Chains A and B, each alone.
Chain A
Amino acid sequence: DAKTTQPPSMDCAEGRAANLPCNHSTISGNEYVYWYRQIHSQGPQYIIHGLKNNETNEMASLIITEDRKSSTLILPHATLRDTAVYYCIVRPPHLQGAQKLVFGQGTRLTINP
């Protein structure tokens, strides 16, 4: 799996958009970008994933650069409950079987009132 690089921590004001960057310069053509988050000490929770097009769901938007070497997770109107550690992962599609699902250190996002 391609390695990812994320800033260790970020702050954002409540109600503003939180933009979390991720670098994955060694990503392969068939590898997806996945985002998870971990609130306090709970189990991680899936947020969104994408291949090359931008994606949006009820939780967030994912912007992937045209060269696919980086992406940004956007939480459009951050709330205090969005305070969590956010993990960016890249991995091949499921058809290649079970892969090591490896998490990095993630970004600790703090939403301030």
Chain B
Amino acid sequence: EVQVLESGGGLVQPGGSLRLSCAASGFTFTSYAMTWVRRPPGKGLEWVSAVSGNGRTTYYADSVKGRFTVSRDNSHNTLFLQMNNLRAEDTAVYYCAKVLTWRGAIDYWGQGTLVTVSS
């Protein structure tokens, strides 16, 4: 059974940093791209970032480019999102998800972890 489980969310002040982790199981981790998607309170889904299976190719939404860094540890089946210089508008539930086909559908999602940026 495919499972993805996020952790690392919490309350952080504007300008602060946070690192999200996502533990994956039930599939060959290195064979699939992984992605982060967020849902701000009262708003819809917003794609954040993605990384290819071998970790060499990364993509970012313009809203987080230069502040967020996605990476993966294929030896431990874990995905990361390093978030720096956080802003109030980054407040959201962050979902880790498996990408079915590169630039295609996102087929398995986690339950999400809440990030709140507030002073």
Same assembly: no
